């Protein structure tokens, strides 16, 4: 089975270490290593020293949307055609036999196993007790289904829609995906491969910033119910205590403003007691250095309110209706003849393939924007006996040689009178492409040159952009809600720069 490795990155220097380690690992190399550049600023090179020679032909860099690890991983796996996707983080270091053990773990996956988790090792200081931050990172060693090293079948990802991009931070997006996969009846297992996850430096306020994850917990509770922590193997946490301590602080402030000193003093005492208990719970197992104690005292005074406010904000966002403003699509489905290449009726000859003007640059822009691609094409020449399915496949391969990878191909070989559900204007191929890419049809746009393309998209609940050519009928153009002059103009429209 084919295997691609997907690495989301925010440009950490450790990315170079990861790639150089992969290049020297024992075992078969992955078919591709897809690096998703999820930085907001692309001013400096991502890999200043280049890619290790052994991986040079296998590494591709895609641009993410700077929307967090869930969105970045979706960009990566949707760009892959491999049977299995191995997700690794950019700050892990694989063992020297990682690729060999990855191959063994994959070979051991039975048909009912959808994914295999690697083992994480977090090195802690040997000469002192770990700090609060170091203990936090060390929790990854026992985390279930962490995508710091996790293999999934691509078909499984497509079946559940991939990672939920409502999780903009790390930690909960992988638990959510695992629970949705397990709900299908599939199994997840632990493999034997191991990566090391070093503890990177952090300032004293890191624990306060991490409280933003409480907003993600609200999404988990809404989606998976009250028992989601037990099912996902996530520790219970201190939310109830944080709520009580925050309420005490709020009551103390309100009583002070209302000039009720006794109530203010009692509430302040309750807040102080709760804060002291939290601080000591974090100080006691640590090194108890002066800097660590100061950090624990300062952050413990803030954490309960920060956690409670983020939790409330998470529920508020869930309750708010989604904006109707049109955003970039998650996937673009492309018609073949007359859209990507010059229309040669019933073409079965690869030598007659001619790309439409600007097509190569247009699809390059879509790939660079991290948008998943697929092709949906009627090929009734097969039913008419004018071409074989092998001829059509040969033409398709030539098109990809001209334009680059276009994602999965969906071809209907039936004639107009066969009554199939895949031939456009029926929605079958659009729905199948959406499933394969792990997106909702509503998050897809179909670009084509006929009214049948537009009708197929709308029948599936997708958006359509018509790119007319000499054979497009005037009534089709008049009926189309969106029309662009050509493929580059359609792509510019989708990327928001059609000015």
DSSP tally for the chain: helices H, then strands E: 18, 13
- The CATH number of the domain holding residue 440 is 3.40.50.1000
**Domain-embedded: residue 251:** no
Instruction: Specify whether 207 is located in the same domain as 174.
Output: no
Q: What's the angle, vertex CA 346, arms to CA 344 and CA 347, rounded to 5? A: 60
Q: Answer yes or no: is 255 within a domain.
A: no
In a domain, 259, yes or no: no
Establish if 254 belongs to a structural domain: no
Q: Is residue 270 part of a domain?
A: no
Please check whether residues 359 and 487 belong to one and the same domain: yes
Tell whether 304 and 335 lie within a shared domain.
Answer: no
- Token pair in block for residue 499: 């000015």
The pTM score is 0.70
pLDDT of residue 438: 79
Beta bridge partners of 4: 32, 85
Kindly report, residue by residue over 148-182, the tens digit of the pLDDT: 999 999 888 877 878 888 888 888 999 999 998 99
pLDDT the model gives residue 358: 95
* Tokens (6 digits) for 427: 């929605």
Q: Which among 262, 294, 320 is the end of a domain?
A: 320
pLDDT at 499: 47
Instruction: For the chain of 499 residues, list the mean pLDDT of each consecutive stretch of 10.
Output: 94 94 95 92 84 93 87 88 94 96 97 96 96 96 94 87 84 91 93 96 95 92 88 90 96 96 96 97 97 97 97 87 61 96 95 95 87 93 94 94 90 92 94 87 94 94 94 91 94 81
Let me know whether 233 and 339 are in one domain.
Answer: no
How high is the pLDDT of residue 184?
Answer: 87
Calpha distance 54→30 (Å, rounded): 11
Name, in order, each residue with C-beta under 8 angstroms of 343's C-beta and a sequence gap of 6 or more: 337, 449, 469, 471
- Could you tell me if residue 38 is inside a domain? yes
Query: Do 196 and 218 belong together in one domain?
Result: no
If asked whether residues 349 and 481 sit together in one domain, one would say yes
Measure CA of the first residue to CA of the last residue in the chain; give whole Å: 45
Tell me: cis bond preceding 28? Omega within 30 of 0 counts: no
Tokens 């002192």 belong to which residue? 128
Residues 374 and 290 in one domain: no
Q: Residue 132: what pLDDT?
A: 97
pLDDT for residue 326: 53
CATH number for the domain spanning 43: value is 3.90.550.10
Residue 8 β-bridge partners: 36
What value, to the nearest 5°, has the Cα angle with vertex 194 and ends 192 and 200? 160
Q: How far apart are CA 243 and CA 251, in angstroms?
A: 12
Q: Kindly state whether residues 310 and 421 are assigned to the same domain.
A: no
20-40: per-residue pLDDT in tens? 999 999 999 999 999 999 998
Q: Is the dihedral of CA 380, 385, 386, 388 positive or negative?
A: positive
Is there a single domain that holds both residue 11 and residue 154? Answer: yes
Number of domains composing the chain:
3
* CA-CA-CA-CA dihedral for 157, 35, 72, 364, to nearest 10: -100
Q: Is the residue at 262 inside a domain?
A: no
Domain that residue 108 falls in: 3-202
Q: Are residues 374 and 313 in the same domain?
A: no
Statement to judge: residues 299 and 158 lie in one domain: no
If asked whether residues 380 and 282 sit together in one domain, one would say no
Would 260 be classed as within a structural domain?
A: no
> According to the model, what pLDDT value does residue 252 have?
96
Note the pLDDT of residue 324: 38
- Using the Cα atoms of residue 18, residue 23, residue 24 and residue 29 in order, give the sign of their dihedral: positive
Residue ending a domain, choose from 320, 343, 371? 320
Contacts by 285-294, CB closer than 8 A, 24 or more apart: 285/129, 285/130, 285/135, 286/129, 286/130, 286/131, 286/132, 286/135, 287/128, 287/129, 287/130, 287/131, 288/129, 291/204, 292/131, 292/132, 294/204
Q: The tokens 């996850």 sit on which residue?
A: 197
Q: What is the pLDDT of residue 321?
A: 52
Catalytic residues: 335, 337
Q: If phi over 0 gives left and psi between -120 and 50 gives alpha, with beta otherwise, what is residue 50? A: left
User: Of 320, 350, 385, which residue sits at a domain end?
Assistant: 320
């Amino acid at each position: 089975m084919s295997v691609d490795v997907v690495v989301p990155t925010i440009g950490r220097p450790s990315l170079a270490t990861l790639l150089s380690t992969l290049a020297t690992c024992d075992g078969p190399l992955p078919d591709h290593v897809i690096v998703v550049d999820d930085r907001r600023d692309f001013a400096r090179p991502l890999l200043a020293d280049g890619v290790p020679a052994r991986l040079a032909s296998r590494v591709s860099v895609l641009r993410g949307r700077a929307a967090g690890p869930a969105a970045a991983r979706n960009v990566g796996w949707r760009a892959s055609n491999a049977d299995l996707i191995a997700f690794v983080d950019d700050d892990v270091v694989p063992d020297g036999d990682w690729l060999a053990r990855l191959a063994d773990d994959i070979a051991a996956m039975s048909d009912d196993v959808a994914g295999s988790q690697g083992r994480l090792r977090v090195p802690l200081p040997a000469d002192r007790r770990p700090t609060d931050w170091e203990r936090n990172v060390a929790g990854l060693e026992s985390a279930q289904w962490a995508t710091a090293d996790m293999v999934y079948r691509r078909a499984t990802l497509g079946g559940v829609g991939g990672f939920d991009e409502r999780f903009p931070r790390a930690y909960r997006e992988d638990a959510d995906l695992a629970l949705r996969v397990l709900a299908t009846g599939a199994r997840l297992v632990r493999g034997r491969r191991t990566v090391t996850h070093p503890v990177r430096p952090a300032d004293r306020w890191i624990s306060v910033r991490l409280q933003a994850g409480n907003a993600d917990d609200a999404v988990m509770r809404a989606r998976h119910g009250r028992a989601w922590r037990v099912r996902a193997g996530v520790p219970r946490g201190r939310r109830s205590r944080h709520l009580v301590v925050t309420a005490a602080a709020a009551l103390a402030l309100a009583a002070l403003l209302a000039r009720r000193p006794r109530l203010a003093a009692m509430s302040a005492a309750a807040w102080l007691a709760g804060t002291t208990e939290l601080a000591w719970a974090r100080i006691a197992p640590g090194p108890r250095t002066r800097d660590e104690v100061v950090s624990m005292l300062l952050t413990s005074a803030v954490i309960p309110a920060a956690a409670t406010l983020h939790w409330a904000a998470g529920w508020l966002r869930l309750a708010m209706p989604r904006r109707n403003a049109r955003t970039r699509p998650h996937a673009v489905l492309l018609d073949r003849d007359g859209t990507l290449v010059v229309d040669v009726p019933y073409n079965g000859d690869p030598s007659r393939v001619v790309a439409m003007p600007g097509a190569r640059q247009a699809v390059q822009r879509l790939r660079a924007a991290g948008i998943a691609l697929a092709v949906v094409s009627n090929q009734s020449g097969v039913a008419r006996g004018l071409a074989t399915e092998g001829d059509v496949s040969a033409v398709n391969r030539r098109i990809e040689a001209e334009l680059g990878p276009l994602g999965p191909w969906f071809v209907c070989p039936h004639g107009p009178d066969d009554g199939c559900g895949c031939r456009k204007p029926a929605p079958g191929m659009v729905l199948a492409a959406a499933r394969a890419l792990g997106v909702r049809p509503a998050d897809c746009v179909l670009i084509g040159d006929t009214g049948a393309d537009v009708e197929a998209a709308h029948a599936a609940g997708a958006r359509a952009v018509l790119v007319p050519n000499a054979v497009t009928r005037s009534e089709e153009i008049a009926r189309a809600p969106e029309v662009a002059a050509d493929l580059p103009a359609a792509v510019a429209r989708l990327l928001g720069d059609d000015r």
